[in-house]
Homo-oligomer: A and B are copies of this chain.
Amino acid sequence: METTQISKQETFMGKEDLLNHWLGHRNLTRRVIEKFPEKELFEFSVEGMRPFSDMVKELLSIASPGLHGIVSRSEEAYNHNLNLNTKAELLAKWDEETPVIIDLYNRIPEKDFPKNHNLFGQYNFPIKDNILYFIDNEIHHRAQGYVYLRALGIEPPFFWER
C-alpha cells in the first residue's frame, strides 16, 4: 500500500515546503550578516558570548555537513572552526552552500525522515528532527545577531521578510 508511512499520522507539511521554509530563513540570515560592520562582525559580542561571525561559522559547519552526514549515514564530527576571516568570505561561503543544501536535502527519501541518524556522531534523533534543529539553531543564533545589531545602534532586517 503506497500510503503506509504517511497514513499513520496526518501530514503537517511537505518535503518541498520545508526546504523552501529553510531557504527563506537562510535569505534572512544572509541579510543579517550583511548588516554588520566588518569589524563588529568579528569582534563585537555580549559578555560570555561569541561574535556573530563565529555563530555564522557554526551554522555553515552544521547545515551542509549535517545533510551530508544524513545522506551518506556518516557520523563524522562537525568542525566549527572554518577559515573564513572577512564578511565577503562568509557571504561567499553562505551562497556557495545554498545549491549544496538543496541537492543534499533532495536526496533524502521521504521514508527516511522518521528514521534515526546519529548526527555528527552525537545526536541520535529522527532525521526530520536533525533538520528542524538546523533551522531552529539558525533562527536562535540569528536572533542573537539581532540583539548585537541593536546594541550597535543598527536596525536589523524585518523578521518576516524572507
Contact = CB atoms under 8 A, between A and B. Distances in A.
Question: This chain: how many copies in the complex?
Answer: 2
A17 interface: yes
Nearest to A147: B147
Contact of A15 (B12, B140, B153): B12
11 contacts: A6-B11, A10-B16, A11-B14, A12-B17, A13-B13, A21-B132, A136-B139, A139-B139, A142-B143, A147-B147, A147-B148
Chain A interface category by residue count: 35 or more
A72 B49 CA distance: 44
A47 B13 CA distance: 38
A46 B150 contact: yes
